[in-house]
């Protein structure tokens, strides 16, 4: 039939949204159900957000992926000021507790790059690698090691990637390496 009425325009929906006990599109939604929500029914704070093909939340204006703290450094500062990055009450919370800060900023387990500077000696490089492998409980072979000679070959700058399960392990590695008199810098 050439004179059929055009199909009604489909209302644009947000890809997927978790809804807590509310009314969506005229129907009751049970608590914490995943549904498609029409864009005009999204809360204002969710406008302009979408989920990309990898399942990550994206700010449509900037194109940046939004992590649990936000899309930029400002969001991290606001999260910190609101106390969202505070550790649980049973953990020490001082500016001298690096694992507290690290655990707030990085999701563990993660691949962490240890940077160590010391003398350009094979034994030094081997000792650093063994220390990191022992504390992080990973195989030496699994470590990504990059070595760059510094100051005309007098020093060696090592970048060693290791899978780290908890922020306290980063702190333990740095403490252990700092005990070695050959280590000039460790971070």
Instruction: Give the pLDDT confidence of 85-136 residue by residue, as tens digits.
Output: 676 676 666 666 666 667 767 777 888 999 999 999 999 999 999 999 999 9
Q: How far apart, in whole angstroms, are the C-alpha atoms of residue 124 and residue 142?
A: 19
Answer whether residue 55 shows pLDDT above 90.
no
> Looking at per-residue confidence, does 91 or 18 come out higher?
91
Write out pLDDT tens, residues 62-73.
777 766 555 566
**Ramachandran region of residue 16, left (φ > 0), alpha (ψ -120 to 50) or beta?**
beta
pTM: 0.52
Quote the mean pLDDT of the chain: 74
More confident residue, 101 or 30: 101
Token pair recorded at residue 30: 């049970």
pLDDT of residue 180: 94
> Residue 160 pLDDT more than 90?
yes
Omega within 30 of 0 (cis) for the link into 113: no
Query: Alpha helix (H) ranges present in 108-148?
Result: 122-136
């Amino acid at each position: 039939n050439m004179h059929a009425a055009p199909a009604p325009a489909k209302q644009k929906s947000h890809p997927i949204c978790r809804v807590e006990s509310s009314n969506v599109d005229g129907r009751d939604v049970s608590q914490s159900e995943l549904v498609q929500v029409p864009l005009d029914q999204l809360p204002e704070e969710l406008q302009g957000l979408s989920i990309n093909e990898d399942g990550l939340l994206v700010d449509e204006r900037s194109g940046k992926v939004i992590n649990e703290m936000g899309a930029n450094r400002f969001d991290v500062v606001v999260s910190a000021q609101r106390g969202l990055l505070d550790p649980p009450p049973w953990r020490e919370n001082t500016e001298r507790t690096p694992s507290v800060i690290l655990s707030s900023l990085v999701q563990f387990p993660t691949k962490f790059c240890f940077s160590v500077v010391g003398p350009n000696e094979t034994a030094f490089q081997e000792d650093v690698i063994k220390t990191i492998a022992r504390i992080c409980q990973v195989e030496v072979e699994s470590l990504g090691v990059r070595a760059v000679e510094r100051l005309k070959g007098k020093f060696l700058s090592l970048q060693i990637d290791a899978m780290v399960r908890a922020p306290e392990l980063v702190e333990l590695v740095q403490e252990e390496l700092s005990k070695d008199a050959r280590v000039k810098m460790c971070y």
